[in-house]
Amino acid sequence: MSVFFLMFVCTTVPQKWCRYVGVGELEEVQLFYYFIESERSPKDDPLLLWLSGGPGCSALYGLLFEIGPLQFDYSNSSGNKPVLKLNPYSWTKIANIIFLDAPVGTGFSYATTGTAYDNSDTSSAAQTYEFLRKWLMAHPKFLTNPLYITGDSYSGVIVPIIVKEVYDGNEAGREPPMNLKCLEKIYPGHILEPKCSLISPNHTRLKWNRIILEENIMDVVSVPQQSRPWCRSYNYLYSYIWANDRNVREALHIREGTKPEWDRCNYSLSYTKDILNSAVYHRYLSKTSLRALIYSGDHDLAIPYIGTLDWIRSLNLTLLGSWSPWFVEGQVAGYSILYSENSKYDLTYTTIKGGGHTAPEYKPKECFAMVDRWFSYYPL
């Protein structure tokens, strides 16, 4: 299993590296990231920072289940031997992407002291900004690439705070200057599989130890074969096997003794949600010359698109038109609407037709077309 994983990863994806960046006064917080260069033009294409939701969900979720170049091949996977395949709608076809495990305690990120695990919305945003500064100073060839701060689900709260940190840092002349262009996020469960909430593997049951990993995984957690419906969450089992494999962890340069076990989502973080409404950050950013893309799956009942539209309307931006359908291969992919402020700032809000909580997972082709057009300043 592991040898195949490593051969596949090493031979089929663009240049990549996985490392830690220390933040904090004593670098007591070690943030882990996966970086993958654009398959098209790394020196010209946008640089994306991607954060998953939670808070506490690993960026590996976004990499393997949403927008990264690899995904699990479920039809050819069995037992404790997941198989990977290429994602034809990977956003790395048009962008360089940093997948960051943040806040600390997420994924493979860790702290060297107990108190350093204490975190919040604002402190996590500040640490992410420090991460970006250090990463770009270590990789100056990406300083001129357009920078986009992106994320989904709960990270939609954090993204505008990070953007404000970057914008204010540029205004204050902090090094290095970042070519900030915009923020992009989705306010995206079991919406498309409504019966799954009662039978889907939950967080506790998805925690794996070394003994279980050495067994035949299908003897431990088997997908029901009778009248019980298929649930999307069953697919996540493979990520636990993959990320906790010893050879894979060595290939990712995971430091021994720092994270005995990888979790897709760590819900035991010492974390304070100190931003109850991020609209104030959007109001602040609407006075700049940045752009914003906000998208929601129209089947997302966890954070319905109507609720997102309500807070966008509360910004009192100028409406530039009515709802318009946009198409992918002749089919309606969603409906978009455009707002502006002082002819400098613009905000595009769009729905993804048929999309659930994490829209690229449900509608990868449509989401790829959306960002490809938007990055290129084309109408959706």
- Which residues are known catalytic residues? 153, 300, 357
- Cβ-Cβ contacts under 8 Å for 276 (sequence gap 6 or more): none
Query: Among 152, 167, 166, which residue's Cα sits nearest to residue 91?
Result: 152
Q: Does residue 103 have a cis bond before it (omega within 30 degrees)?
A: yes
371 SS3 class: helix
| Two tokens, residue 183 | 């923020």
d(CA 340, CA 318): 5
- Cβ-Cβ contacts under 8 Å for 301 (sequence gap 6 or more): 189, 191
Q: What angle do CA 268, 273, 275 make, to 5 degrees?
A: 160
3-state helix, strand, coil in the chain (%, to 5): 35, 25, 40
Query: Among 191, 126, 128, 171, which residue's Cα sits nearest to residue 357?
Result: 191
Cα-based torsion angle of the residue sequence 349, 354, 357, 361 in order, rounded to the nearest 10 degrees: -100
Query: Among 380, 125, 138, 148, which residue's Cα sits nearest to residue 278?
Result: 125
Query: Among 40, 346, 304, 10, which residue's Cα sits nearest to residue 184?
Result: 346
Is the separation of the CB atoms in 179 and 144 below 8 Å? Answer: yes
Paired residues of 50 in beta bridges: 99, 150
Compute the radius of gyration of the chain from its Cα atoms. 20
Is the separation of the CB atoms in 201 and 166 below 8 Å? Answer: no
Query: Among 194, 98, 81, which residue's Cα sits nearest to residue 142?
Result: 98
The sign of the dihedral angle between the CA atoms of 228, 230, 236, 240 is positive
